[in-house]
C-alpha cells in the first residue's frame, strides 16, 4: 500500500483555524495529565446536543484543538455553529463537571481567503484531578 501525498499547486495556500483550544491541567501536579482523556464533540441542534464523531487534534504540548470546524464554502452566508466538548477519563474527574456537562464554543465560518469573524479559540484551562483524590472529598468544584 502506498501513501498519496497531496501538495498545493504553486500560488495556492491553505489556512486553518481552530475554534477551540483547550489545555487540560492536573490540579495536583500543575502539569498536563499523564493519563489519557477522552474528548467528545457535540453539536447544538436546537433542542438537544448531538454527538459529531469528530475527533480532536492533540498538539505535542497536550493542547486539544478542533481545526477546520468552521471551514465553509461560502462563509459570508453561514452563521456560527455552537459545539460542546466533553472530557471523560477513568483516571481523572473534570472539575467543572459540577456546573456543566462540557465546554461550549462557537465555530465561526471561514475559508482560505476569509478569516473567521472572531478568533476566540483559547479557552480557560480544563482542570482535572486524579479520581482517587476527588472521590470521598466534599469540596466545591473550581470552575473558570
Q: What is the CATH number of the domain that holds 86?
A: 2.60.40
Q: Which residue has the higher pLDDT, 17 or 107?
A: 107
Of residues 124, 55, 129, the one with CA closest to residue 98 = 129
Number of domains in the chain: 1
Alpha carbons 126 and 24: distance in angstroms, whole number: 4
Residue 4 lies in a domain: no
Residue 86 lies in a domain: yes
pLDDT tens figures, 25-36: 888 888 888 888
Of residues 126, 129, 131, 130, the one with CA closest to residue 143 = 126
Share of the chain above pLDDT 70, in %: 73
How is residue 99 written as a grid cell?
456546573
Residue 142 lies in a domain: no
pLDDT of residue 97: 61
pLDDT of residue 139: 35
Residue 134 per-residue DSSP state: H
Q: What is the extent of the structural domain holding 122?
A: 18-134
Report whether pLDDT(5) > 70.
no
Q: Which residue has the higher pLDDT, 18 or 99?
A: 18
Cell 501538495 -> residue: 7
Residue 96 lies in a domain: yes
Confidence of residue 136 (pLDDT cuts 50, 70, 90): very low
Instruction: Phi first, then psi: give them for residue 131, nearest 5 degrees.
Output: -60, -35
Amino acid at each position: 500500500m502506498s501513501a498519496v501525498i497531496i501538495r498545493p499547486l504553486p500560488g495556492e495556500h491553505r489556512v486553518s483555524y481552530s475554534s477551540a483550544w483547550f489545555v487540560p491541567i492536573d490540579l495536583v501536579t500543575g502539569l498536563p495529565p499523564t493519563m489519557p482523556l477522552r474528548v467528545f464533540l457535540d453539536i447544538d441542534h436546537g433542542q438537544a446536543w448531538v454527538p459529531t464523531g469528530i475527533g480532536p487534534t492533540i498538539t505535542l504540548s497536550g493542547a486539544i484543538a478542533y481545526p477546520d470546524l468552521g471551514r465553509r464554502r461560502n462563509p459570508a452566508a453561514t452563521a456560527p455553529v455552537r459545539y460542546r466538548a466533553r472530557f471523560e477519563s477513568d483516571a481523572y474527574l473534570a472539575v467543572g463537571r459540577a456546573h456543566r456537562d462540557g465546554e461550549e464554543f462557537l465555530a465561526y465560518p471561514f475559508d482560505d481567503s476569509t478569516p473567521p469573524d472572531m478568533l476566540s479559540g483559547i479557552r480557560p484551562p480544563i482542570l482535572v484531578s486524579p479520581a482517587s483524590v476527588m472521590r470521598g472529598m466534599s469540596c466545591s468544584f473550581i470552575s473558570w
